[in-house]
Amino acid sequence: MAPTILLVFLLLMNFFPSLTLSESTSFGFPSFTFRNLTLLGDSHLKNGVIGLTREIGVPSSSSGSLIYENPIRFFDQESNTTASFSTSFSFSINNLNSGSFGDGLTFFLSPDNQTLGSPGGYLGLVNSSQPKKNKFLAIEFDTRLDTEFNDPNGNHVGLDIDELDSIITADAVLQNIDLKSGNLITAWIDYKNDLRVFNVFLSYSTLKPPTPLLSVDIDLSHYLNDDMFVGFSASTEGSTEVHLIHSWRFKTFGFLPVRPKSHPHNVSDSTVTVISELPVSNSTKKHHNRLGLGLGIAGPAFFFVVLAVFSYVSVKKWKDMRVEKGLKAGILTGPSEFSYRELYVATRGFHSSRIIGSGAFGNVYKAIFVSSGVVGAVKRSKHSHEGKTEFLAELSIIAGLRHKNLVQLQGWCAEKGELLLVYEFMPNGSLDKVLHPEPENDILLTWSHRQNIAIGLASVLAYLHQECEQQVIHRDIKTSNIMLDGNFNPRLGDFGLARLMDHDKSPVSTLTAGTMGYLAPEYLQYGKATEKTDVFSYGVVILEVACGRRPIEREVNRQKLVNLVDWVWGLHGEGRIVEAADKRLNGDFKEEEMRKLLLVGLSCAHPDSAERPSIRRVLQILNNEVDLIAVPKTKPSLVFSCSLTVEDIVSDDEESKTTA
């Protein structure tokens, strides 16, 4: 039987060789979304094109980078092989002002997935204060002559390794290319490790030229000895140059398959023990031969039948459980999972005295974790109206959001038919309670606090709208959903109504959700949530911050309802907009700054969504990087067939005055 068992074992090892093969990488972006990409600095996505620097009409200093989010293997230790690589991309360098130019863009490889350098001649690749910190291999497309880095001219291509003083450069004019022309340019960059040759080609067409613009014999294996990240960077300094990446393809190749590792149970001639045959009869030998042959065939067959059945059962079970397990795993990679008992004890059994806020999705309790001394906020949500799996899917993405102006999710618990979310505790509560305090609350937001709130909220919305892998439409931006930390910095919270969508997809169309008074007119009419509906809500919040008045409130001693947007617009029409400022500030602000904030609020609350600025432009205005948008003296009107009355709106608004 020993030879028969040995035969079965050899057959099985034949079916399962211990091979290790290094895989090459290949990807392509005919146009861009945020999927699989990281945008840093001033880089942004617009209509499927990545802008690496700011698009504004006045000279500014800017830097940004675009990085493929997955590391790429360039060296295989098993075969001691360095990969070759090839990339092609289309780019354009436009100029909003013909007399303003610089500084250029780069394609780079780096071990760091957070590569972002300084503006100006540093090309968004090198930090001016620590010029030796960033490690990279880059091709620069330089549009400004910088003597500090020994540039030959303001229209060249160069190979850079760990510094911006290029190893070799070539004038783009040699292939009749003007980098600053604004035309679409295609670049091909090839490195063949076996030939130790590095080539760069440029063309206005999509046909690769027969000869390279830049060619150098170089061994890059010393630099490509680890997993690397690939991407682009660009910068400006006092110019209006715009750097755009339109499409991108990349691949590695040249890895060799690794020879099978020797297995401790593999059999060779030197390890086979020869067993001398005992004298047996012919009939017994024939019987054993038949038996051996039968086992030799049936053994592997039986093994694979069992394997197939086991695989089918396992895959079916996995398919049944993959959604919830996958979602929980996604959440577990970020916030922690709490037990129900932990949260029950920390909130004193969800005692009413621990309630610090309430909303459409449940109460919020102050939680004190005695063992660690940490204080948190626990939202107790019951979701009978939507599937637990759907909510976990939404939560698993939101849990991955990271921004200094977001209330960070610390943990979660899904037990006893409830979903409990644990957030940072915000000692100053909600913006709503500070702006409209109870008599016993004497906190007054200073003008600098209010400006900081406006800028911080714009920053986090720009992150949600333009910098996340999937665009996040919040749908419920209001002062009660904006929390204030110990330094009165704003933290946007309550994503219970948020919706996720791909950046290149149509607006979300749902039943209208949100809070009356903050909702855009087109959202009320059509139920389509877009980034511009969030911008409208932001505008109302900004007016509320500047004026200290609610979006809709009754005049003192009168039954007349006053709409905040209409009221401020009326003062603007009379040339008295600064009079809308919160009287509690006692004039302790600069009039021009107050006027700017009020006009930004009105431009965001424009009835026509097409006339509202993007939140990124709002951020640029507040940071004094671009000029204000002109706001008409008379509020434009849109005609909708809407059955809602002002009284309906106020009624709904008063019912929803809660804190998150």
| Close Cβ partners of 597 (under 8 Å, ≥ 6 residues apart) | 450, 451, 454, 542, 545, 546, 622
List, in sequence order, every beta strand (DSSP E) within 538-625.
552-554, 561-563
CB atoms within 10 A of CB 292: 16
The rounded radius of gyration (Å) of the Cα atoms in the chain is 32
User: SS3 of 525, please?
Assistant: helix
Residue whose entry in the numeric block shows the structure tokens 């910098």: 467
Tokens of 642: 């809407």
The residue type found at 356 is I
| Close Cβ partners of 449 (under 8 Å, ≥ 6 residues apart) | 488
Distances (CA, A) of 180 to 172, 177, 212, 589: 11, 9, 20, 44
Distances (CA, A) of 31 to 59, 249, 302, 568: 28, 10, 51, 42
**Closest by Cα among 504, 512, 496 to 470:** 504
| Close Cβ partners of 47 (under 8 Å, ≥ 6 residues apart) | none
- Whether 476 sits among the annotated catalytic residues: the reply is yes
User: Kind and range of the H or E element at 413?
Assistant: strand 409-415
**Closest by Cα among 564, 540, 568 to 552:** 564
Report the alpha-carbon distance of residue 495 to residue 475 in Å, rounded: 8
In terms of Cβ atoms closer than 10 Å to its own Cβ (0-12, 13-18, 19+), residue 506 is exposed
**Closest by Cα among 213, 181, 225 to 72:** 225
User: Kind and range of the H or E element at 449?
Assistant: helix 447-462
CB atoms within 10 A of CB 100: 16
Are 494 and 476 spatial neighbours (Cβ–Cβ below 8 Å)? yes
- Asked if the peptide bond before residue 103 counts as cis, ω within 30 degrees of 0, the response is yes
Q: Per residue, what are the HEC states of 308-355? A: HHHHHHHHHHHHHHHHHHHHHHHHHCCCEECCHHHHHHHCCCCCHHHE
Residue whose entry in the numeric block shows the structure tokens 């931006």: 477
Cα 614 to the center of its chain, rounded Å? 18
Are 252 and 84 spatial neighbours (Cβ–Cβ below 8 Å)? yes
Q: Per residue, what are the HEC states of 24-72? A: CCEEEECCCCCCCEEEEECCEEECCEEECCCCCCCCEEEEEEEEECCCE
Q: Which of 476, 494, 534, 653 is catalytic?
A: 476
Residue whose entry in the numeric block shows the structure tokens 């075969």: 79
Write out the catalytic residue numbers.
476
